[in-house]
Amino acid sequence: GLGFIIFSFSDNVIMYSLGSIVMGVGYSLGGASGMTLLLDNWYGNKASVHVGIATSGSSFSGIFLPSIVLFILTTFSLGYSFFIEGLVIIAIGALLFFLIRNTPKFAVETSKDSPAKAKMSGVEISKLKYYVFIFAIFLLGGVAIVGVNFFSILFAPAGSSAEVAANVVAFSSIALCISKLVTGV
């Protein structure tokens, strides 16, 4: 949310970079990583279904938000759009802070050993293979995670309207939402 507010007041590459850094740190700490750790505390080896449901929420929002953001952007300005999004994110974050707990009030009966760990017991990979794996995931994320966001930007030079771009992002979000649910299950 703070990153979006920084974007709303930005007018140069340094300010946009600062906003990006703040957003990256926030996404890292409060996004998929934090959510996965939290759900692991609650559900143990049954967390994958819940992670699939939780991550599909961001894709579900991508179905409706592009049109709403486009309306705010065309009616007001880019800075105003960033500011409103930042305030909404901060309000939702505050609500989650008061509603979500690190551990459940009542114990959830699950094993902390994942099925993958049970199958892989005694098998270790070398450090080199581990670093190659991490680097490959980094490259995959660099393309896959941001691809849909920039896909819509390419529509303007191709002669399409902003509405078409918003609808394409919404359609991509539907596919992403379904994929996350299926992967979680």
Mean pLDDT (10-residue bins), the chain, 185 residues: 93 92 82 79 81 80 81 88 91 88 68 49 75 81 66 75 80 81 80
Residue 167: strand, helix, or coil: helix
Residue 118: predicted pLDDT: 44
Listed residue (172, 66, 63) closest to 74, CA to CA: 66
* pLDDT for the residue numbered 2: 93
| pLDDT at res. 39 | 83
Specify the residue for token string 């994929």. 179
Residue type for position 137:
I
Alpha helices in 13-161 (DSSP H): 13-30, 32-43, 47-75, 78-99, 115-119, 127-151
Q: Which amino acid is it at 79?
A: G
